[in-house]
A and B are shown apart, each in its own frame.
Chain A
């Protein structure tokens, strides 16, 4: 297992390096005049040129990238060109918001989809059809519509939750819970629908296996068969989907963060990318890459733990 983890971490580091290079190359294609955006349309060209020089944009892209890489390796990601904030501090301020959403959605998705999937897979018949309709509906509903309706109903009309803003966990647990509940529920609708279908399918497959029939023939209680044997084997594919959804949530969080006015890194990524704020974008890319690598590694380890046959040597 240690060797596996070391190999995956090394592969991850190589991947991060390649992606950083590709990202910087794409960002360096001069389609955005950063200095002119900063100085305004009316700025004289010599001022724009001076600003470009001050930002280091007058140098070849390769030199800029190597400088960035050398600083990044030392943990220095610089300051935002557009807000002058320290990049790491800016991201550290926003990361807990998005992580709260991602963790919350993953938890809600894991619990609900497991329950719904198991219920449908084991009971079949009308229950199965009901869960399937529920899942298809949840999947088909546009995310923005679900979010807008939730804000309107539970925040604006009923006043149960705040409509906007985020309160840090360190500030107040109840405050944090109140600000993330609606966004988590809004994001969970689609993901529960997807994972529940996956769990249902896996449960049905496992229930058809010979060893389950054998266990039944040996007289093991149905509850024990489901919880100890079926669930364990059916969970692996669902876990893979859940892992992918967790990573994908970074993109999905953008809309929810915008509608709820949450200062997370989803909306930050969109805002700073359209402006061409390279220091911020590169740091966000690196964090995303590291996140993907870590999540995939964790999912592989968990799957190995659940199913010894899947363990890699």
Chain B
């Protein structure tokens, strides 16, 4: 027993002998250690996508900057104007920006980047589909001519499509994937970076723009939030996003940890099959409305996410013009009404991706729907095969998804309403057909709200709730959430004052 008791001091001695490891964030001399669960497939702008954007923002600037509240401000473009028909966007560019090798950033570079972005076939290439031609007016002016109005274009230019790399690197094969070259505030420290594990960015000697507060920024990849939470608690990491409700609770009580909440993703069933191609009963709007009444959103939120979120019946987020607060509670939990609307029992087969559909969520939905005569059958699919079965084979009537809520209305419309990945059967109806051209041309709030209300009333989707995510820091960093992104922009971190 005495020997067992001696074990603890022995460990302490070993720890003392081994010294304190070099902690990426602890000395905090203008260094920032961020944890991420996003693995970027490359640092070439044509491969930029979603939550990997901060990796790119470190080394590339975008044409337009998206501020934390979602508004746009100048970055590489100092100004922009649309023509009356909204089919020509004129950009004025900065004249004092150079790439790492000294070559100037100019209109020709914009054209070269955008054309390569489209041809590159990356995940976001489609965002420039409406750009018909890119016309270089002079070194500091470029005009984008559109095939049709695209109200989300400025948003896209503040995102992946607006990242500007040095055209001189385009001829160097795959070099940009691991050796990025842009005009951004940092450059990749090749010596300290281990791709796939940790990317280290050091301050560029001569940056044209506002100096960011950190000399070094490292982004480390983790495949689980347990390690991230431990890293924050021991101050080995400075900042991270925690999505899992249990992990949020674990980190919130820790000494010194600062947190900021943000509602970003909504979780719900995206019903693709409104035309009844796979499940004929879904063709009837009353059946879709019945499904919406059948689920107990508040209980699901309480049990599955410990109440961390806000129930909703709409896919438009609070930052959009189309959002209507009353639609969050449009469908009350009313199983008698649901049975009345659904009338006949039927079977609904959905894919189950374990990373999205937990056991608790799967059981809860099955129970609620069974109570109104709908037999929900889960088909287990792994993340790899899911994409093929859902999107290519169109084998299911819908799927449970966690979807980011963009602040740009047209991005929401493009992702969920227009024919495409999440409207794979290309379904539409008269109301939508009437509203879309108006929204595309003018984007007026009344039309967007009318569209949103119609989608909810007609049961296009089955949203459950918006999930609260937690930005956490070890206390040394102030994190400002970014509208339209789960992860903050690289510009949104500052030493805690």
Contact = CB atoms under 8 A, between A and B. Distances in A.
A209 interface: no
A2 interface: no
Contacts of B178: 84-85
B226 to A, nearest CB: 6
B337 interface: no
A260 B384 contact: no
A178 interface: yes
Interface stretch (B17-25, B99-107, B486-494): B17-25
A4 B156 CA distance: 65
Contacts of A94: 197
Contact of B231 (A47, A164, A274): A164
Interface in B152-196: 174, 177-178, 194-196
- Of B198, B228, B391, the most chain A CB neighbours within 10 A belong to B391
B24 A160 contact: no
A260 B126 CA distance: 39
A259 B226 contact: yes
Given A160-B15, A164-B237, A260-B227, A85 B195 contact: yes
Interface in A146-202: 148, 151, 154-156, 158-165, 167, 171-172, 174-175, 177-179, 181
Given A33-B392, A40-B123, A175-B19, A163 B234 contact: yes
B380 interface: no
A233 to B, nearest CB: 28
A245 B399 CA distance: 42
A81 B47 CA distance: 12
Given A82-B39, A175-B21, A163 B122 contact: no
A155 B392 contact: no
A229 interface: no
Contacts of B485: none
Contacts of B237: 164
A42 B18 contact: no
- Of B21, B236, B390, the most chain A CB neighbours within 10 A belong to B21
B49 interface: yes
Interface string A1-41: 00000000000000000000000000000111100111111
Contacts of B21: 162, 165, 167, 172, 174-175, 178-179
Nearest to A54: B121
A80 B234 contact: no
A47 B18 CA distance: 52
A83 B42 contact: yes
A40 B5 CA distance: 55
Contacts of B407: none
Interface string B4-46: 0000000110111111111110000000000000011110100
A163 B231 contact: yes
Contact of A271 (B123, B223, B231): B223
Nearest to A35: B121
A181 B16 CA distance: 12
How big is the A interface, by class? 35 or more
A223 B327 CA distance: 83
A178 B13 CA distance: 11
B234 A159 contact: yes
B382 interface: yes
A155 B19 contact: no
Contact of A36 (B44, B124, B391): B391
A145 interface: no
B117 to A, nearest CB: 13
B231 A261 contact: yes
Nearest to B237: A164
Nearest to B40: A83
Nearest to B401: A41
A42 B233 contact: no
A93 B194 contact: yes
Interface string A215-244: 000000000000000000000000000000
Given A36-B392, A259-B226, A164 B234 contact: yes
B236 A164 contact: yes
A162 B174 contact: no
B42 A178 contact: no
B198 A42 contact: no
Contacts of B383: 274
B395 interface: no
Per CB-CB distance, the 3 closest pairs between chain A and chain B, nearest first, are: A32-B384, A40-B123, A160-B15
Given A164-B222, A172-B21, A263-B196, 8 more contacts: A32-B385, A40-B124, A43-B123, A43-B126, A83-B39, A83-B42, A163-B227, A259-B230
16 contacts: A36-B392, A37-B384, A38-B41, A40-B124, A41-B390, A82-B39, A83-B42, A83-B195, A84-B177, A90-B195, A156-B230, A162-B21, A163-B231, A165-B220, A258-B223, A274-B383
